[in-house]
Structures are given as C-alpha cells and as structure tokens.
Structure 1
Amino acid sequence: PIALRALPDHFAYAAKTVRQLITEAQQAGATCFLCTEKDLVKLRNIELQLPLYGVIMEAQPDTALNQLILQHKITQST
C-alpha cells in the first residue's frame, strides 16, 4: 500500500502537517515513510510512528540536452 504526498521544495514540516502525513500513511496501510535525503535530515528527529527511509538521488547528464546546449553556444559564437 502506498500513500503519495508531494510537497514543495524547502518545505517546513509543521506539527499539523506531520500529523496529517502519519494519518494518511496509516489509512493507506503504509509500512514506512520514504523521502529525499534532504527531507530525511528534517524528519529524522520527528516521531513518525513508522520507519523513515531516505532515497539517494543522483543526477545523470542527458547527452541530447548537452549536445543541444553545446550547439546553441557554438551558434551564438559565430
């Protein structure tokens, strides 16, 4: 079971929001919380009543995007 809640970047976790997250997770039958490493730092000292795990994310360069940027730079240079 999954309960999904997307929150904006730099979100400040108020007590009310944390209670809502816990309620939503329990109602969905979730067995843990999963968040970004950045949010893990904010949430790790809060009692969530379920295990909390952080997802390690890594940006991968997009070859097509890199080529487009380089082509644009070359076009601007000439």
Structure 2
Amino acid sequence: MSKEVKDTLVDKQFFLLEKLLTDDCPDVRVVAVEGACRILLLFWETIPSPTITKIITKVFDDMSHDSCIELISSFL
C-alpha cells in the first residue's frame, strides 16, 4: 500500500471520528470521546500534530460545554 493511500485512509478515519464526536446521540458522543482519547494514547507519536490539535480542541473546548452529563463525566 502506497503512502498516499495510507494517508488518505488515515484522513478518512479522523474525519469519521470527528463526525462521531458531533453526532446527535449523546451515547455515540460518549463512546467517541472515549475512543478518541484511547487513539491519542496509543498512537500519539504517529498522529500528525494538526490532527492531534483538532481532536483535543474538539473534545476539550467544544464538547466540554455539552449538555449531556455522561459526556462531561467521561472527560474526568
């Protein structure tokens, strides 16, 4: 598999993760936050810095104001 194909697949995965983080269903958002944090934990050194920044910004800045109690609790 070429580097371009791999990069495209990684970009698609992070696009889908971001989509899950903004899903209408609170339960999906809770699982997405937990998954995003796990992905960052396991693959921190291989994820491009702009992608890490985007995920962290989405989780801590945008989603910390979410009205779903379960979602906010999953941050702690």
| TM-score, normalised with respect to structure 2 | 0.35
Higher-strand-fraction structure: 1
* Higher normalized helix content (fraction of residues): 2
The one of the two structures with greater contact order (alpha-carbon pairs below 8 A, sep at least 6) is 2
TM-score (norm 1): 0.34
